Structure 1
C-alpha cells in the first residue's frame, strides 16, 4: 500500500534497489511489466517497513523480504500465504488478491488529490487509460468540486437553490 507495486516487485526487491538515505526504491526495467524502470519515493510507512527489515537482515542476503533467516534464503514466491489469509479473516474483509491493493492505492491517491500524471509515473503505467482502470473512486472526494457551483450561484442569484 505504500508503493502500489505489484506483488513480485515487492517480494523480489533487493537491497541494491533501495536507498534509505534518499528515501527511494526502484524497480529495474527488466522487472517491470511495462519494461520501464519505476522509481518510488518512500513514504513513512514504507520507510518503517524497510527499517524493520534492515534490522532483521542477515549479512550477505540480498533480499529485502527473504523467506527465511539464513544467508542463502530466497524471496517468497507468493504473498498470498497462510499469514495473508489469516490477516484477512482477522480484519473481517472479503478475500483479497494482492492486485486489489494496487487498485486501492491508486484510488486513494486520486481521492487525495494526486494528479493523474504523477500517479501514472508512480504506478509505472504507460497511459492515462491504464491509470483510470485502477482508480475506482467513491464520490466523497468530489465534495469540494461540487461545492464550487455554490459560489457561482450566490454571485449570480444571491442564493443557492
Structure 2
C-alpha cells in the first residue's frame, strides 16, 4: 500500500509503496499533510481500479489531450476551451450528449459549421487517438447538420474586376489565390524559401490536410510576384509592409486566415461591384457580398475543371483528401453537358416540327 513521507530538502509529501505489484514513488505536489493523504488515497484507488478494470475507468480528457499533443497529432487551436470544459472528465463519460452540451455551452451563438469545427472535430480526433491506445471505445458521433451552401465562383470578367479593384498590397495576393487555389493561410503565410520563380513553382509546406504539395505557377502569377520589391521572409505583406499576423489560439473569433485580409478584400469587392447594398442601422446603406477570399479557391478549381476535365489532377493540386470532395466543381460546370442533352432523340425532330409549322 502507499504511504506518504518526505524527502530531504523537499517541502512536498511523496507517495511511496507497492500496489498490485506496481512500485510507486510520486510527489503529491503539496506540503499540506491532510491534502497529501487525500491525494494518496485517490492515487491508490486509481492504481487498483486500473489493475482490475484497465485504463478505461481512470483516463480523463486531460490525459488524452496531453498525449494527443505529445504525439504531434494536432495543434492547440480550439483545444483550450475544450480542456477547460472537460478537464478531468473520464473518457468513458464523454458521449454524444456530453459533447452536444459542450458545443452549446462553449459556442451558444455559433452556427453548425463553427460548432462542428471547434468542438465535434477536435473532440472526435482526441477520442479516436485515445481509442487507439485502448483508453476508450471508438467514438460514433452525430454532427450538427449544416445547410448546403451555394458554390460561389467568379467568372473571368468578375475576377478581372476584382483584381483591378484591389489595393496595391492586395493585388498580387489575390492574383496568387485565383491562379493557385491556395487556401488563405497557405498564401498569406507563404515564405519566399518555398517559391521558385525560375521553375514557376510554389510549395505549400503546412497545409490543412497535413500533407505538403507543390503547384505550378501561372505566368500571370510569376509576373505579379516577381515585381514585389523583396525576396526574403513572407511573400505577401500588409499595407504597412509587415508580415501578416499568425492566428491567436486564445481568440475564438480568429478562426480563419481570411479574416486577416477580410476588410481590404471586401473593399475591393465593393469597388468591383461584386455585391449589393442593404439598409443598415439608421437606414445607412451597408454593402453585402457573397465573395470571400475562399471564393478565389472555388474559382480556381472551377476554372481548372473547365480547362482540363481532370478531377484527379484537381484533387492533387488543390490538396483535397478524396476525389469526392472535388465533384462539386464538376457540378458547377453543368453547361458542358448541354450539347449531349441536345443530341438526345427527338430533340432535332422537335426543331423540324417547328420548321414545318412555320412553313405551313
Q: What TM-score results when the alignment is normalised by the length of structure 1?
A: 0.77
Which of the pair has the greater relative contact order for Cα pairs under 8 Å at 6+ separation?
1
The alpha carbon displacement at 1:137 in A equals: 1.2
CA contact (8 A) 2:201 2:215 kept: yes
CA distance in 1 between partners of 2:340 and 2:220 (Å): 29
**Residues 304 and 314, structure 2, Cα contact 8 Å, conserved in 1:** yes
Q: Number of residue pairs matched?
A: 144
- The match for 1:79 among 261, 267, 279 is 261
The separation in 1 between residues aligned to 2:325 and 2:209, in whole angstroms, is 12
- CA displacement 1:73-107 (0-9 Å, x = unmatched): 323561212x3122101111122221122112211
CA contact (8 A) 1:106 1:135 kept: no
CA contact (8 A) 1:119 1:131 kept: yes
- Pick from 72, 77, 97: which aligns with 2:292? 97
Following superposition of structure 1 onto structure 2, how do residues 76-155 of structure 1 map, counting pairs within 5 Å? Answer: 78-81=260-263, 83-94=264-275, 95=289, 96-146=291-341, 149=343
Written as runs of structure 1 = structure 2, the 5 A alignment for 1:48-63 is: 48-53=223-228, 56-57=229-230, 61-63=232-234
Which one has the largest radius of gyration? Answer: 2
Give structure 1 regions of 4+ aligned residues with deviation exceeding 3 angstroms. Answer: 133-136, 143-147
Higher mean alpha-carbon deviation, 133-142 vs 110-119, is at 133-142
Say whether residues 1:39 and 2:214 are aligned partners. yes
Match of 1:112, SS state, is helix
CA contact (8 A) 1:24 1:40 kept: yes
Cα distance in 2 for partners of 1:85, 1:136 equals 27
Gaps of 5+ in 1: 154-158
Give me the whole-angstrom Cα distance separating, in 2, the residues matched to 1:52 and 1:66. 13
Task: Give the match's secondary structure for 1:40.
Answer: strand
Of 13, 18, 22, 2:199 maps to 22
Q: In the alignment, is the contact (CA less than 8 A) between 2:315 and 2:323 conserved in 1?
A: yes
Separation in structure 1 between the aligned mates of residue 218 and residue 305 of structure 2, nearest angstrom? 17
